[in-house]
Amino acid sequence: MNIKRLVSLVCCVVLLGSLVGCGMISDDVDASPPSSPTAGTSPGADASPGADVPSAAVAALYHQYIQDQLMPEYGLATLAASGTMENPEDRWLSLSGVMSAYIADLNLDGTDDLLLFCYKEVESPYSDDLPLYALYAELYMMKGGTPAKVDELEVCAYNESDELDRYDHWVSLTPNHWFEENLFISCVIVDAVPTIVVEFTSVGGIFSDGYLCDYWALTCADEDLEIAFSFTQTAGGSAGFEYTGYELANGDKVFQELLFTELPEDGGLYHDFGEALEVFFDGFGIDVRYQGSAVSILDDTAVVQRIHTYATKCTDADWDSSIYPFAFEATDGTDLRAYCE
């Protein structure tokens, strides 16, 4: 070894020992490899997402902001509710407030973001005295060391058909809700990008019939929350069920195609619903399997985080007395209630 390099190496070792001895460098060094992403951390980013703020500290700031600012404004949404109905005017459900709060680096800028799902009471287009409990997604980012809301949107599938209006595709419930519905909101990784997949299915209940299945995905571009693609019911009922696939970029539609029809004479690429759905998602690199409207199309092994799910249903109806018990059961996969209740 070159004598100059040897002397330099010895000097470095002596200097390092001096720094450890005076406490400037800890001698308790963790040599283990970085941990894998978990719920509430950035699935596609480095473990230190802030300029000088570690992800755990960013999450703590978001948690504190939720407690101090959002809970007083929105409240905390219930995870379960039940009641009975004898006629369509009866009311059994009250739902508003924050349901889930997912923290991850959604736009891959190196800093964790907060994606908040909350139910808000809004005016219904169908009834003057029955509101909608509509689901919104709100996006928060760190601005000057403080969380700030940068975008929000209705959790609603993309649709351009005149057959069904936007309210049919908006995740929303009413005080007299009688539809049996299932909602799954999950995060998956597509080409290293966190992608929020929404699955919303609705089957007519006691007082009416109908059937709806919508599947779509949200992504974050810079500070915008956008629909990336949508497999949307665009006709139903006596018209024959039809589903159209949409692809969007920067909020604008770039492609659409009629993928499924019940009636062969109406065209469409496929006449098997499950096949049409699976082929559509495969085009975006997401492996899905259709097993019925009450089951998520995503396998648990492909999901980074189950963010929010709910089911509404009529249970143990007393058909003789015409009393119909209904129930709402939700899950929050983000552990929001661990620090807000």
Instruction: Give me the residue spans of the domains in the chain.
Output: 41-340
Q: List Cβ neighbours of 52 (8 Å cut-off, separation of 6 or more).
A: none
Q: Look at residue 172 in the predicted model and tell me its pLDDT.
A: 95
Q: What is the pLDDT of residues 25-59, one digit of tens each?
A: 334 434 333 333 333 444 443 333 333 456 899 99
Q: Lay out the sheet containing 252-261: strands in order across.
A: 80-85, 324-332, 305-314, 180-190, 193-203, 211-221, 224-235, 242-249, 252-261
Q: Look at residue 207 in the predicted model and tell me its pLDDT.
A: 80
The tokens for 302 are 């492909």
Q: Look at residue 201 in the predicted model and tell me its pLDDT.
A: 96
Q: Look at residue 54 in the predicted model and tell me its pLDDT.
A: 62
Strand bridging mode 97-104 / 113-122: antiparallel
Query: What's the pTM value of the predicted model, to 2 decimals?
Result: 0.83
User: Which residue's structure tokens are 């899905």?
Assistant: 288
Q: How far is CA 188 from CA 76, 101, 207, 259, in A?
A: 26, 16, 37, 23
Angle at 287 between CA 286 and CA 293, to 5 degrees: 105
Q: How far apart are CA 75 and CA 66, in angstroms?
A: 10
CB count in 10 Å sphere of residue 233: 24
Q: Look at residue 255 in the predicted model and tell me its pLDDT.
A: 94
Spell out, as residue ranges, where the chain has pLDDT lower than 50: 1-52
Q: Look at residue 53 in the predicted model and tell me its pLDDT.
A: 56
Q: Look at residue 104 in the predicted model and tell me its pLDDT.
A: 96
